[in-house]
Every structure is written in C-alpha cells, then in structure tokens.
Amino acid sequence: MKSVRVETRNGYEIRLRTVTIRHGPRAACTGATAARGYVAFVQIARDGEVFVNWHLPRLGHRWPSREQAEAEALDYAIRLVERRPFEGPPSDVPEAA
C-alpha cells in the first residue's frame, strides 16, 4: 500500500497520509501492540506551494479503519478546496478600504 494517497481537485493536490494509532508503552518500537485506530493527515498544495498541513479538527478522535479515516479527511479537504479560500475573495467582492 502506498504511504501517501494523492488526489487532484480544482488544480490543487490533496495528499493524505494515514497513520495507525497504537496504545501502550513503547508502542512505536514494537509491533506487539494492537492498532487502536487511524488518523489521516492532509496536505493541500499547488505549484509546489503548501497551503495547508493538518488533520481533521476533532481532537483525540480516531477512526476504526484506514479507509474510513481517509474517506472522511478527503471529503473535508475537497469541500475546503471547492470553496477556494487560497485564491482570495471572488472578483465581485469589494476590497476593504
């Protein structure tokens, strides 16, 4: 399985990296502990410029499967990219004085 999933929307590249959350002492060092959930980290970039690096804004929430974590993170990122907040306001919105 690829470690980074890449999707393209509205000229932006959405990169997803899903990590396994483990619980227990030295969980990162041993494979003996069971997975306790997954968290997907998202990066949104265009033309080499990174606009966003984050995970879903639910502190402490873990998804039971890798697929569910990726699907929800991708859905959230797509909604953000479709709003186009990185390009500034639409041309018909007057600038503040």
| CA-wise closest residue to 2 among 16, 20, 22 | 16
95 assigned to some structural domain = no
Q: Which residues pair with 45 in a beta bridge?
A: 13, 50
For residue 33, report the phi and psi dihedrals to the nearest 5 degrees.
-85, 145
Give the tens place of pLDDT for each residue, 2-51: 588 899 988 899 999 988 887 655 545 555 555 678 888 999 998 888 98
Question: Which residue reads 């499967």 in tokens?
Answer: 65
Q: How many domains does the chain have?
A: 1
Question: What's the predicted TM-score (pTM) here?
Answer: 0.69
Q: Can you give the residue range of the structural domain that contains 28?
A: 5-87
- Is 37 inside a domain boundary? yes
Q: How confident is the model at residue 55 (pLDDT cuts 50, 70, 90)?
A: confident
**What is the per-residue pLDDT for 15?**
94
Inside any domain, residue 96: no
